[in-house]
């Protein structure tokens, strides 16, 4: 079984402790690969390597940094099929979507390769003729980037690409539950000609590796995508050193279907955004509000489209949906469905695990459409992160806006 190592100071290395984790396929629970599992000491070594490499990388011309990122993009595209297969095997999404994610990460490298050249300063008008105010953009230092399991390659690329383009050095921590494709992406990027220590990668838990990356004073910028509670903890820890911070946390996105909507188009859009990646997206549609006049027509169309979706192992080219990522995610979805049913909701389709021997060992769940929802139900107030499309009707635009805004989340809306 292949062993995936960490990257510290330009060298692929095992963890100091020698710990190893086995990554399993959520479609069948079969082992995919092993990964070196690091801790605080490994993270500290990576931060020190990035700190040493920072002055030299910061002095390199933006044009040259851009050339390296373009080369990295080319290498990722050359390895796209290999990386995509790993992504499907460790995360579950169908191969064609995994392939799209990898190619999107290559586009991020290309995009920021060019943006780095345009990182201009500015001259600010002064009240005095005897002075000028200049704003100069300079690289900040070491960036710690922490990415999640649902889009482990794409979301990592969106973090490390701008940091490298700006002249920062990076220590990356992909999800400990889905680190394989992200590791291959990082290794391809490093092979493009980055000096040792400019890009580092440490595997491990958020409790150990993540905490060290946030708490260690070497890191001057922290970028995190993930669960809201963890984001709050990172914000508190980063504040002790007044670090720059970027957080993308949970979401509970509403979709409003008005009386004059084209029903077929609206149903297709809601279906795609509710069930894509098995609903495991922070900007997934979590609540659908439909005008009374078209609620029945919309529900019929959404159910018809949902029943056509094909579910199975992600490497099967004919499937639309793979397994959920974990049993914990599946159980959370079941619990929220049960709560909704207890409070008066109805199931229009789905709501259970698929039948058949091919689904027995994986974390599969049928895409589910619920009707007669209201805001007393957990699903209408808490992030589900599962393949469910819950519907609630409204009678006026003002009511729809009030319902959509009745949430502590604010990440996206449709």
Catalytic residues: 248, 282
- Looking at residue 294, the DSSP 8-state letter turns out to be G
- Plot region of 43 (φ>0 → left; ψ -120 to 50 → alpha; else → beta): alpha
CA distance 175 to 299: 37
Pair 373, 388: CB distance under 8 Å: no
Task: Check the CA dihedral 114-115-119-125 and report its sign.
Answer: positive
Quick one: angle between helices 180-190 and 80-91, nearest 10? 160
- Give the phi and the psi of residue 382 in degrees, each rounded to 5: -120, 150
Helices within 167-321 (DSSP H only): 180-190, 211-215, 228-239, 263-275, 295-307
Q: Is the dihedral of CA 224, 228, 234, 239 positive or negative?
A: positive
CB 397 within 8 A of CB 260: no
Per-position DSSP letters for 44-56, written without gaps between them:
HHHHHHHHHHHHH
How many other C-beta atoms lie within 10 A of the C-beta of residue 206?
19
């Amino acid at each position: 079984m292949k062993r995936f190592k960490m990257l510290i100071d330009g060298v692929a290395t095992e963890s100091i402790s020698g710990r190893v984790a086995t990554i399993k396929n959520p479609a069948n629970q079969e082992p995919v690969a092993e990964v070196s599992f690091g801790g605080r000491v490994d993270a500290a070594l990576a931060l020190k390597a990035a700190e040493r490499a920072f002055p030299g990388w910061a002095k390199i011309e933006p044009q040259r940094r851009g050339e390296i990122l373009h080369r990295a993009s080319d290498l990722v595209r050359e390895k796209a099929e290999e990386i995509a297969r790993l992504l499907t095997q460790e995360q579950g999404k169908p191969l064609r979507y995994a392939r799209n994610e990898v190619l999107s990460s290559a586009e991020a490298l290309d995009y920021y390769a060019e943006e780095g050249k345009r990182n201009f300063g500015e001259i600010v008008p002064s009240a005095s003729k005897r002075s000028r105010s200049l704003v100069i953009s300079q690289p900040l230092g070491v960036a710690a980037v922490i990415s999640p399991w649902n889009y482990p390659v794409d979301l990592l690329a969106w973090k490390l690409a701008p940091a490298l383009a700006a002249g920062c050095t990076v220590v990356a921590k992909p999800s400990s539950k889905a680190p394989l494709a992200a590791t291959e992406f990082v290794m391809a990027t490093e092979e493009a000609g980055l000096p040792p220590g400019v890009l580092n990668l440490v595997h491990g838990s958020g409790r150990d590796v993540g905490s060290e990356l946030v708490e260690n004073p070497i890191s001057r910028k922290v970028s995190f995508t993930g669960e809201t509670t963890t984001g709050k903890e990172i914000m508190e820890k980063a504040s002790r050193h007044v670090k720059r911070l970027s957080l993308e946390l949970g979401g509970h996105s509403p979709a409003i279907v008005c009386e004059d909507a084209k029903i077929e188009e609206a149903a297709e859009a809601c279906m795609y955004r509710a069930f894509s990646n098995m609903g495991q997206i922070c900007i997934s549609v979590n609540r659908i509000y439909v005008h009374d006049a078209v609620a029945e027509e919309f529900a019929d169309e959404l159910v018809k489209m949902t029943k056509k979706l094909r579910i199975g192992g992600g490497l099967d080219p004919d499937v639309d949906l793979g397994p959920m990522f974990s049993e914990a995610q599946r159980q959370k979805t079941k619990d929220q469905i049960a709560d909704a049913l207890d409070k008066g909701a109805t199931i229009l389709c789905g709501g259970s695990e698929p039948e058949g021997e091919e689904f027995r060992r994986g974390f599969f769940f049928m895409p589910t459409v619920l009707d007669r929802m209201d805001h007393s139900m957990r699903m209408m107030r808490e992030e589900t992160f599962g393949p469910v499309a819950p519907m609630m009707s409204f009678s006026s635009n003002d009511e729809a806006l009030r319902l959509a805004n009745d949430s502590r989340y604010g990440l996206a809306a449709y």
